[in-house]
Chain A
């Protein structure tokens, strides 16, 4: 049995700040995350042609890693962290991922030795646990995935991460139908169950190899909601519903920490501010610097409490200013420098609040994720921290309450957003507080409605 969080790591929302966490983590080559400064975390993807063989992939990662390090020392940056999100071949063939981690780490070591630059390396195997149209969370694919973690840890990756998919089969159905209990079941319940299983095992591997079990994200579900919601004029999902899904993802991501994750949390987990308020562990975030990967309605706000600052992903190719990884790493590092100046000059909170106000009223999603409100969602989660159903429901209720509160009056919402919020509130008000009832009702409902739902095989019901 894992120990669930029932308390906040911070006494007050105002204590949360970028670059500092309650429990910093330390990588091998001098980099500390959450220890008082923000560091760039550079993300990249190989060109499609590079995927055809192991040799080509290794060479692609060798080049891009060297490019990033060379640019970092050219411009005088004190630290940098890299994240390699696997393409499928690298996870399915654990030795590929392992070799790439080793090649990258060797380059980081050379730069560290030569210049003293602090560096970190995160590897994120792909969640390969699926079989065409069906999730296959437990079984052979799980074992390959664990082998992949072993291999990258052995190869030298400091931080182990993944973007897990537990609950996804129900989310995909529920999110297109404004089904709020479905969101809670998919993300809060099924997702947290899978997270608890997988993170206990990742932690074991990390401990065995002397690495850090970093963290997960609910990208597969929360960011699907974000994407479907899209921009202000898109008509695929009300932004007031999207933020409910995104808030429920916090207790799911939290389950990873309860099972052994230590941070830094994954960049695309927008729920991370909520999670940090509870765990005190460092987080990575992405925003205006990840416009190369997706558009965003809170590009500045998400910097508010980041410890690593990321660009999500960019294809490796040439730009006028160098290769894409050089351009983006330079931008990230300059942002980090600005944040660190604010810290050094005692202006951190002022800068944090400027970043937040840039986007707090841009969209309901940013409003709820602003650190003061995120903290409130955190409190709602830990209030019933031991009950994975109830805490997910609490997160949903808290987001609705935040949007309906008098403080939200400056946030101008469309009638449509307001109505969707009212419908969501009605759906939440009609829900039970009893986990057992909710679980058995949901099991029956979704077994009947979702053809690809395989509860026994995937969640050991």
Chain B
């Protein structure tokens, strides 16, 4: 017994696939000048050795290592995250590109001896009692890939520790992940404790169990549906958006 599957189902991913390959699309986005072109391609491929080699050449040629971070590494990574946002490439490519880019940043820092000014600092955590941390790891990776300085508190993080870290790090935003209906209530407590201390930073919450209705129950909460919303929200904060505007933008339901 067999069947013609087109009679009973549609693989929409096949139907919707772009005519161009991701590689073709990426290469159209690379800057035309060297070394940016080669380094961008190396980032896209996730080849850290080639990234370093390109940076070495550029520095030998007189480029300033810190300028290379902002002018070459970050724009190169943006090509990757843009293609991910457009649904052209998949997450593992982003992770591998981010690894390569971050090695490049470390290399530039070593070469210059000085530390570049990051776009902003963000604290990430998984709710107390919850070990489901893959979503959080993705969020942290995408934030780093977008040039943010991430303080990753890990999983099953007690509320006290979250508050202490926020006080110590003074981040521009906090993220929380919860996959269990039993653990997500910790977010309300984090919210209350932050407010008690007079700290009013946006607190983006996501993860399987969390939904928009729940997050709207506490003042600092902004719902994050998918990991890619984290860097988007950080960018929106840098662009000057306040809590109300952030909720407006990210509360899609």
List, in ascending order, chain A residues with CB within 8 A of B116's CB. Answer: none
Q: B243 in the interface, Cβ–Cβ < 8 Å? A: no
Q: Which of B82-90, B106-114, B229-237 is the contact stretch?
A: B82-90
CB atoms of B13 and A232 under 8 A apart: yes
CB atoms of A414 and B11 under 8 A apart: yes
Using A130-B131, A132-B154, A414-B13 as known contacts, say yes or no to A357 and B90 having CB atoms under 8 A apart.
no
CB distance from A362 to the nearest CB of B (A): 5
List, in ascending order, chain A residues with CB within 8 A of B181's CB. Answer: 48, 315
Using A233-B16, A415-B17, A415-B21 as known contacts, say yes or no to A177 and B92 having CB atoms under 8 A apart.
yes
A250-B154 Cα distance, complex, nearest whole Å: 30
Interface residues on B, range: 35 or more
Q: Which of A111-119, A209-217, A235-243 is the contact stretch?
A: A235-243
Q: Of A176, A232, A235, A414, which contacts B89 at CB under 8 A?
A: A235
Q: A296 in the interface, Cβ–Cβ < 8 Å? A: no
A415-B156 Cα distance, complex, nearest whole Å: 39
A357-B4 Cα distance, complex, nearest whole Å: 9
Q: Of A357, A363, A416, which contacts B2 at CB under 8 A?
A: A357
Using A51-B182, A130-B131, A176-B95 as known contacts, say yes or no to A414 and B90 having CB atoms under 8 A apart.
no
CB distance from B161 to the nearest CB of A (A): 10
Using A132-B155, A413-B14 as known contacts, say yes or no to A238 and B90 having CB atoms under 8 A apart.
yes
A43-B122 Cα distance, complex, nearest whole Å: 39
List, in ascending order, chain B residues with CB within 8 A of A361's CB. Answer: 3, 5, 9
CB atoms of B90 and A237 under 8 A apart: yes
Q: A197 in the interface, Cβ–Cβ < 8 Å? A: no
CB atoms of B91 and A235 under 8 A apart: yes
CB distance from B169 to the nearest CB of A (A): 18
Specify the chain B residue showing the minimal Cβ separation from A165.
B131
Q: Of A133, A237, A354, A411, which contacts B92 at CB under 8 A?
A: A237
CB atoms of A177 and B95 under 8 A apart: yes
Within 8 A of A (CB), among B175-191: 181-182, 185
Q: B170 in the interface, Cβ–Cβ < 8 Å? A: no
List, in ascending order, chain A residues with CB within 8 A of B99's CB. Answer: 177
CB atoms of B14 and A414 under 8 A apart: yes
A362-B2 Cα distance, complex, nearest whole Å: 14
CB distance from B140 to the nearest CB of A (A): 11
Q: B1 in the interface, Cβ–Cβ < 8 Å? A: yes
Within 8 A of B (CB), among A44-58: 48, 51
Q: A172 in the interface, Cβ–Cβ < 8 Å? A: yes
CB distance from A44 to the nearest CB of B (A): 13
CB distance from B98 to the nearest CB of A (A): 10
A241-B91 Cα distance, complex, nearest whole Å: 12
Specify the chain B residue showing the minimal Cβ separation from A174.
B92
Using A172-B134, A237-B91 as known contacts, say yes or no to A48 and B96 having CB atoms under 8 A apart.
no
CB distance from A423 to the nearest CB of B (A): 10
CB atoms of B90 and A132 under 8 A apart: no
Residues 2-24 of B, flagged 1 when their CB comes within 8 A of A and 0 if not, give 11110011011110110001100
Q: A258 in the interface, Cβ–Cβ < 8 Å? A: no
Specify the chain A residue showing the minimal Cβ separation from B46.
A177
A238-B89 Cα distance, complex, nearest whole Å: 10
CB atoms of B155 and A362 under 8 A apart: no
CB atoms of A233 and B91 under 8 A apart: no
Q: A331 in the interface, Cβ–Cβ < 8 Å? A: no
CB atoms of A233 and B1 under 8 A apart: no
CB distance from B125 to the nearest CB of A (A): 11
A177-B91 Cα distance, complex, nearest whole Å: 8
Within 8 A of B (CB), among A391-433: 410-417, 420
Using A235-B90, A357-B3 as known contacts, say yes or no to A177 and B96 having CB atoms under 8 A apart.
yes
List, in ascending order, chain A residues with CB within 8 A of B84's CB. Answer: 235
Q: A224 in the interface, Cβ–Cβ < 8 Å? A: yes
List, in ascending order, chain B residues with CB within 8 A of A87's CB. Answer: 182
Q: A15 in the interface, Cβ–Cβ < 8 Å? A: no
A361-B5 Cα distance, complex, nearest whole Å: 6
Within 8 A of B (CB), among A106-160: 130, 132-133
A residues neighboring B (CB under 8 Å): 48, 51, 87-88, 130, 132-133, 172, 175-178, 224, 228, 232-233, 235-238, 241, 315, 350, 353-354, 357-358, 360-363, 410-417, 420
A-B contact pairs, 11 of them (CB 8 A): A133-B154, A172-B134, A175-B92, A176-B92, A235-B90, A235-B91, A236-B90, A362-B11, A413-B11, A414-B14, A420-B90
A354-B1, A415-B17 known; 7 new pairs, CB 8 Å cut-off, are A48-B181, A132-B156, A133-B155, A177-B92, A237-B92, A238-B90, A420-B90
Of all A-B residue pairs in the complex, the 10 with the closest CB atoms, nearest first, are A361-B5, A236-B91, A178-B92, A232-B13, A48-B182, A133-B154, A414-B14, A357-B3, A176-B95, A353-B1
